[in-house]
Amino acid sequence: MPSTRFYFCSRLQAGQEVILEGNEFHHLAHVMRLEEGEQAEFVNGAGTLAIGVLKQREKKQATFIIESFIQQEKTSSELILAQGLPRLNRLDFIIEKSTELGATQIWLFPGQNSERKSLNEHQLKRMESLMIAAMKQCGRLYLPSLVIKPALHQWDLLKIPAFFGDVRETAPFFWHIHSPGKEALFFIGPEAGFTAAEIERLGQMGAQGVKLHPNILRTDTAALVALSIMSQ
């Protein structure tokens, strides 16, 4: 992936004029330092990769003309991480690495042991910015969907194969029962884990408890391991 890749939240097609403003323009002007006539790549998070030429650079914006583009077909397998809300510094890490590891959706929900029960608008925008930056860095063309969910007792039965991190000795290892690349939903608890009531509810919903490692993993480590197994 070239270093000159930018995010443009709209349709991209040949001959189109693209105007970069805000954070993306700041990156162009102060990090990439592109000059008029130079090329850059654009992604829109919806599978499009386009090549554009810098036509005009002004004080607060830059104008590109799209020369060509390709459209990548979206995978049919959903890889979903359902994460009980952790502390913000760990959530930042989980959001970034989940994007790099190919999560198609990231669901956030308040666990009974979560210190934080919700995210405000500013925090949600930060999560989106982290996903965009990770998408550009890792070379993927689709942005994961970020979905805010209620507490587990309000969920319906699950419609896809689902699993949750289970520290009980009787739980099988995830890689023994899951075929890599197959559609799956994985639940990770917050720092203090799931409560007994939540484990019971997950089972009622159709999720199977599995171990990710012989050792007990932190919530951010568990998310990485689960997605690594799911996406191989």
Residue pair 223/188 in contact (Cβ under 8 Å)? The answer is yes
Tell me what the mean pLDDT of segment 162-178 comes to.
93
3 pLDDT band (50/70/90 cuts)? low
Q: Do 47 and 110 belong together in one domain?
A: no
The answer on 64 and 85 residing in a single domain is: no
More confident residue, 31 or 15: 15
Size of the chain in residues: 232
pLDDT score at 76: 80
Percent with pLDDT over 90 in the chain: 81
Other CB atoms closer than 10 Å to residue 113's CB: what's the count?
16
37 and 89 share one domain: no
Same domain as 109, residue 173: yes
Please state the φ and ψ torsions of residue 197, each to the nearest 5 degrees: -65, -40
CATH no. for residue 199? Answer: 3.40.1280.10
Looking at the fold, whether 218 and 164 belong to one and the same domain comes out as: yes
Query: Which one is predicted more confidently, 4 or 216?
Result: 216
* Alpha-carbon dihedral sign for residues 6, 8, 13, 18: negative
Taking every pair of Cα atoms in the chain, the longest distance, rounded to a whole number of angstroms, is 63
Q: Both 25 and 84 in a single domain?
A: no
Q: What is the residue-wise DSSP string for 191-203?
A: TT---HHHHHHHH
Per-residue pLDDT at 209 exceeds 80? yes
Residue owning tokens 């990548």: 72
Shared-domain flag, residues 66 and 101: no
Average model confidence (pLDDT) across the chain: 93
pLDDT tens, position by position, 110-124: 999 999 999 999 999
**Of 39, 71, 103, at which residue does a domain stop?**
71
Question: Quick one: pLDDT at residue 1?
Answer: 47
Q: What is the pLDDT of residues 175-191, one digit of tens each?
A: 999 988 789 999 999 99
List the beta strands (DSSP E) in 112-175.
Answer: 145-148, 162-165
154 Cβ neighbours under 8 A, 6+ residues apart: none
Same domain, 60 and 86: no
Q: Which of 16, 51, 71 is the last residue before a domain boundary?
A: 71
Q: Which domain covers residue 25, as residue numbers?
A: 5-71
The predicted model scores a pTM of: 0.91
Domain count, the chain: 2
